[in-house]
Structure 1
């Protein structure tokens, strides 16, 4: 999944972050990591899982892309106008749901983004880090495979030659074709 689209969507759709949404290949809640002002969010890759191959003659497989939104909240009471940081987590979750659920970041995603759950990552007296997990599913088809690329590089099949060897009842084919045919194929017209 192209996480830059998720980052951009959160910047546009969650005004409370004040565009303080960033990407991170690996999130670490450490003081050395460059932090954005609070509240803020980091979008990180989560998983890439596939189902079984569904076709015996072609390529057809479902793939689920996952990502997390790690939110850093001010853990001091009253900073968001709330008495409890628990309320803030639920409010932020609602913001994320309204910004992401059901949205398809690309046309090949079949059902749009779904929510998987959340978990507390870390907390100190100043900052609370909470991770919200999301996923979206798409299908891997023949156009995504090397086999399709290989087939596309083959020359056009121009002629099919057919030999027909009739079966003699009780004896089978004799190895001498009684009929022959050549079928000439025209390439499809390019559009």
Structure 2
């Protein structure tokens, strides 16, 4: 999944971060003690998982795909227990829900759903809290005209010659293996 549309959407819809929304490729970089963070509060969008289901059909190839991403919130705190920041996390979670739940980053995805959250880091200086989200898409399927291939099936289909006609032999009355009637159909393309 592309995280840039999600980042752009959060920057526009979550005013509490004042535009401080960025991407990260892995959580471990954010968890380091001296990790360079943006001014706080900030949010980081991290792609976390692709979970494919079994193939549903081979003609055309179709496979449901569940994609997951986290929004990691970084907040400053003055107490080690985090009591002062707990209500702030609740408010920011509500802001994330308003921005993301039910939104579709593109027509290729089903609406985003919430998948839970948990504490990643709490110390005297900062809190990192992870909110997980998921959305469903599909690998392959019926392509619209001009769409690029997604699977080997699409590539192979694109390599076939165009259908210019067909011939059908009809064995009627008594099925004896003799063709009594021949049907030829020629297709023409409109300019």
Which TM-score tier does this pair reach, normalised by the shorter chain? 0.7 to 0.9
Q: Is the 8 A contact 2:52 2:66 kept in 1?
A: yes
- Residue 169 of structure 2 contacts residue 183 of structure 2 at CA under 8 Å; is this kept in 1? no
Quick check: 2:60–2:153 contact (8 Å CA) kept in 1? Answer: no
Out of 166, 169, 172, the position equivalent to 1:160 is 166
- Rg comparison, structure with higher value: 1
1:75 maps to 77
Partner of 1:181: 182
Could you tell me which residue of structure 2 aligns to residue 126 of structure 1? Answer: 125
CA distance in 2, matches of 1:168, 1:153: 40
CA distance in 1, matches of 2:108, 2:156: 23
Q: RMSD of the alignment, in Å?
A: 2.5
Q: Deviating runs (4+, > 6 A) in structure 1?
A: 165-169
CA displacement at 1:134 relative to structure 2? 0.4
Deviation at 1:35, TM superposition (A): 1.1
| Larger CA deviation: 127-136 vs 142-151 | 142-151
- The structural deviation recorded for 1:33 is 3.1
Unaligned 5+ runs, structure 2 = 144-149
The answer to whether 1:150 aligns with 2:145 is no
Tell me, which stretches of 5 or more residues in structure 1 are unaligned?
none
Find out whether 1:36 has 2:38 as its counterpart.
yes
C-alpha distance in structure 1 between counterparts of 2:35 and 2:186, whole Å = 63
- Residue 11 of structure 1: how far off its partner (Å): 0.9
Query: Does the 8 A contact of 2:16 with 2:92 survive in 1?
Result: no
1:114–1:136 contact (8 Å) kept in structure 2: yes
Matched-pair contact (CA < 8 Å) for 1:7–1:43: yes
